[in-house]
Amino acid sequence: MFCVNLFSQNIEITYKASVKHIDTIQNEKNSQIIKRITNGVNRILPSIEFVVVSDNEYYNVKYQQMMISDYENESYLNLAVTIALDGNFIIGDLESSKSYYESGQTNKIKKVRMDNITWSLSKETKTILGYVCYKALAETIDLNEDNKLNPPRVAWFAPDLNFRGGPTAYANLPGIILEMETPKTIFKAISVKNKKKVDLKRPNYNQENVLSHKELEQYFIDNSPISGSRN
C-alpha cells in the first residue's frame, strides 16, 4: 500500500468515540449516578466527531459538535468532550515529544511528555478502513505525569499511513492511530482523508500559562471558591 504523505502534506482522520462505564464507587446511590452519566454521554457521543490532522511535525486533536437543542444535551456535550480529550483541544509536538491540552475552563495549558508512555509493538494485526494495523500496548512510566485515565492502553496504528498522530497526547507510534482505548474511552476511525497543506495550530503559548499536571491541579486548588473562602 502507498504511503499517503507522498501525495499530500497532511492527513485528516475522523473518529467516533464511546465512553466505558468506570465504577470504582461502592456506594449504590453514587454508582447509579455514574451509570446514568455514562449512559447520557454515550447517547450524545454518536453525534460528535473527533478529528486529528497531522503533518508529521505537529498534530491537532479537536472535536466537531452537532446543533444543541436543549440544556441537558449541551451539558452532556461538554462532559463528553472533557471525558474524551481532557479538554477541548490537543496539540502534539512530535519533534520535541511534548503535547499540550487546552481547556475551555481556563487559559492555563497542561503540558505532558509523549515519552512518558512506552509502547510494546505486537505482530497482531487487523484491517481498519482498508489499512493493515498493528497492535501496540502502552505502559505509563510516571503515573503522576497526567490524569491516570488519559494515557492509552491499547492502540492500533497503520504504518502504511506514513504519518504520526491520533486522538491522544501520546500519539508517537510509527504510523497514524486508527483505533485506541484508554481506561475511559474507545476511539474508532471512520474516515481517512488526504489534505492539502493546512495551517496547524502550534504551541506558541505564553510560557507563564504552561503548567505540568501537578501544577495545574494545584492551580485549581488554589483558585477554587472553597479555597478562597477559607482565607
The three state secondary structure string of the chain is CCCHHHCCCEEEEEEEEEECCCCCCCCHHHHHHHHHHHHHHHHHHHHCEEEEEECCCEEEEEEECCCCCCHHHHHHHHHHHHHHHCCCEEEEECCCCEEEEECCCCCCEEEEEHHHEEEEEEEEEEEECCEEEEEEEEEECCCCCCCCCCCCCEEEEECCCCCCCCCCCCCCCCCEEEEEECCCEEEEEEEEEEECCCCCCCCCCCHHHEECHHHHHHHHHHCCHHHHHCC
Rounded distance, CA 111 to CA 99, Å?
6
Say yes or no: domain 9-229 is CATH 3.30.1360.
Answer: no
Q: SS3 for 115?
A: helix
Question: What average pLDDT does this structure show over 102-121?
Answer: 94
Give the mean pLDDT of the chain.
Answer: 87
pLDDT-based confidence at residue 75 (cuts at 50, 70, 90) = confident
Identify the residue with better confidence: 61 or 86.
Answer: 61
What does the block give as the cell for 176? 497514524
Which of 81-85, 99-103, 171-175, 208-212 shows the lowest per-residue confidence on average (mean pLDDT)? 81-85
Residue 102 one-letter amino acid: E
Instruction: Choose among 165, 156, 161, 87: nearest CA to 124.
Output: 156
pLDDT (0 to 100) of residue 76: 79
Least confident of 20-24, 30-34, 137-141, 209-213: 20-24
Q: What is the mean pLDDT of residues 148-169?
A: 95
Output 109 or 70, whichever has higher pLDDT: 109
